[in-house]
Amino acid sequence: MKQSQKGEFYGQTNKTINLEGITLTDTVYTHDKVDWHYHKNAYFTFILQGNVIEGNKKEIYNCSAGDLLFHNWQEPHYNIKPEGFTRGFHIEIEEGWFSELDFRTTDLQGSIKIADPDLKFLLYKIFLETKENESSTLLSIQTLLLETLSEMIHHQKNDSQKKPNWVSELHSILNDQFSDSLSLDYLSKQLHIHPVHLSRDFSKYFNSGLGEYIRKIKIQRSLQLISQKKLDLTEIAFECGFSDQSHFTRCFKEINGITPSKYRKILLG
């Protein structure tokens, strides 16, 4: 089985940044299929544009823009690229980097698809940092990466604990119906739990309030649509359930630190 070396991905590399134990690669995928292989270093794959199918020994992931994967080192997997343009952003982390910062690679096992919107927003911020030419870029990327890994470990520990059935049901409802006008009463009836119970325990399992979490899902969806060229920002705002473009712009900037138009320019520019 082929081992991919540092910075080696299957496609046309737009940009590679080598930092202290971290390698960041912006790659356009050009291979229709990449057979089973593994990478020398642990790494994140963040899909910026398009679609890709990735399979490992346990699962198959259908990924689109905004999806985030993590592979620990030497985890075998394969890739299939559907027709069309696909671009990925990768962050490779050398084992020495983990050791110097008292992280253990055993705390981050296997190949996983990460659903938490907060972790995805951190990856967007790291991607945006690579577009800045400032002396603080290395420090910013290291800080954001440490925050990402810490949150991942925290979530994995929480995921190992048994959760009530309504948590996964609510997660599905919110991700399927985020653009609708959802009410606490409606959600409580769908889940067959009391509104007070739902309101009280929501943040325990979702790390934010209900309204804040829904806004995050809306912004996450908008980032997927921004990666395409077929919709303007007003159409994206309505598609994601915002009342108008100004409300969308305000929420987007609050989470990502820049406006949707500036992000689209950086991504597609």
| Range with the largest mean pLDDT of 2-6, 13-17, 71-75, 154-158 | 13-17
Residue 77 DSSP label: E
Cβ atoms < 10 Å from Cβ of 50: 20
**So what's the architecture of 165-268 in CATH?**
Orthogonal Bundle (1.10)
Evaluate whether 7 touches 61 at the Cβ level (below 8 Å): no
User: Distances from the Cα of 195 to the Cαs of 113, 162, 187, 199, 207, in angstroms?
Assistant: 31, 22, 8, 6, 18
Per-residue pLDDT, 173 = 94
The hierarchical CATH code for the domain 2-159 is 2.60.120.10
**Token digits of residue 98:** 């983990």
Per-residue pLDDT, 187 = 94
**CATH 1.10.10.60 intervals, the chain:** 165-268
Longest dimension (CA), the chain: 54
Cβ atoms < 10 Å from Cβ of 170: 21
User: pLDDT, tens digit, for every residue of 20-75?
Assistant: 889 999 999 999 999 998 888 889 999 999 999 999 888 999 999 999 999 887 78
**CATH 2.60.120.10 intervals, the chain:** 2-159
Can you tell me the distance from the alpha carbon of 34 to that of 77, in angstroms, rounded to the nearest whole number?
9
User: pLDDT, tens digit, for every residue of 204-247?
Assistant: 889 899 999 999 999 999 999 999 888 999 999 999 999 999 99
pTM, rounded to two decimals:
0.90
Can you tell me the distance from the alpha carbon of 266 to that of 243, in angstroms, rounded to the nearest whole number?
25
Can you tell me the distance from the alpha carbon of 66 to that of 197, in angstroms, rounded to the nearest whole number?
32
The residue whose two tokens read 């790390």 is 207
| Residue % of the chain over a pLDDT of 70 | 94
Residue 26 parent element (H or E): strand 22-29
CA-based end-to-end distance of the chain: 37
Can you tell me the distance from the alpha carbon of 217 to that of 174, in angstroms, rounded to the nearest whole number?
8
- Quote the mean pLDDT of the chain: 89
